[in-house]
Chain A
């Protein structure tokens, strides 16, 4: 039996009585790039943090997260630390806060290798320079001696990427890795990410609010809303035939390039409610134009007849 690289089952994150992530289940296979999309407040970042064992201390995390066959939930922090930054790594939105401002960037990369006993001091320094070259920064040995503030935002994010890839991870979680960057810099970073993930045979979980980013980089797609996964399938299929009204709304709201600005963009009414104020039953029913009394019941995530992918909706959008 093939074991999935990452298997998440019934992952729930609670703050007091409020569920921010409600029983999320999915699995990621080796070498596959998966996009996790949703608007702010849908629980996508919290899901990532819970997987990494980095959820805020005020949160209660239950369910199961199995990474390479090992259960992570309930593991002592010390063991999680050995895993994080090694086989399982993460890149966040803001590169400046991910780097120590008082330490040269080469040293910071080398430290990752030393902490995980990948290399001794001298060896680590050489490998750090190799890694800087791998993320295509100019003049690696000189760049290694720079401090974070001496680099541009895009260059800093490359350093963060080098640190994340130093341990030869099986899974890289990238949470809005390019949101703080300019468009042309973002394009360069995505290009780099695309090449590296392929070359290193790393699985990617890309978390983003931007559907077009996921369309550009990923194969599989998870759509989150209200702390649940509302649709799952191949990126090309989901975007060609979005079945959940939420996905469909996000999709048309994102498709600026297909509109000449004379008609209104089709979008979703209202806005994402605060955590704990989503409706019972289907979490989307208060913003959904198809909602009726059936939607008072929670819809299961399943493949509707004649469709290629899963959706959690009582009234999937028809594309006929």
Chain B
């Protein structure tokens, strides 16, 4: 079998074998419905409440403030749609940023069609939300601010503490999409004044299809999935017990190893960045140099197109992603890269590589060598490069 070098950990991560092991008993042994009264279901009830405690503790929250969902997208949808609805009497204005995940952006667009107004705050060239603009956007009818903890494409970590303080001072609810950050950077919901927080297990070596929404006590929150009495009647549907068991284990592992993982990732990632920036001409690093997730590198290679680069990397067993139009399924490149001010043609040549502690320096060397070859090969067949060289 061809070797695989997996550098797309922002897309999803490998489920830790210890997580899988923790999940297995809940398929064939403890398969009872947690809502049932008999003793057979007790282990299922226990693992759910245990997971709620583990997660709450990791955030400085209370267990009854953690609501399990099917993942980050559902959590974002719930937080935004349900608060908008619940607080519509107070106002119909929401503030978010231009670089949010589509789970937030498309939800806001949905609300705009239903009489809500949304302000999309700009970011600077590094992807940091402009706080002065955010402050100015606040109106008497603003009910919600939703800003992501860290960006999924360029890895920039937002000034969440400051934003939380601004929201608190103005009495506005603050939601953060922490899908990329939770389990990777320390988060304390009280310290940061976070009222709602979205997370997804598969971004921290947990299983796919399970996430949670933290909702601070006192936030008026309507149910989003109507059904049974699960999740304090706010999210109906039989619990994903194996998923929750796996999430619990993933959080335990992530919290225990955070510092060590961060160090390892940063070392690999910095090595990768230094080599690419030092050895490939006409390339830039997208996102903040230091205020970024430790696993994220995002480059823009001039004169070439991202999908071509990805397919060629795939030919060498290297998994990455790009913000080019061809990979986004539209004619426009990534909204995040455009928001940080990249011209279209440069945004098309972007490459995101997100490492894990399982990667090695040897792999980084192999990847950089391949990038150098492939970028040159694509430039040799690029009319943009031909024109550039002629004009030089």
Partners in one complex: no
| A residues apposed to B, CB below 8 Å | none
Name B residues whose Cβ lies closer than 8 Å to a Cβ of A. none
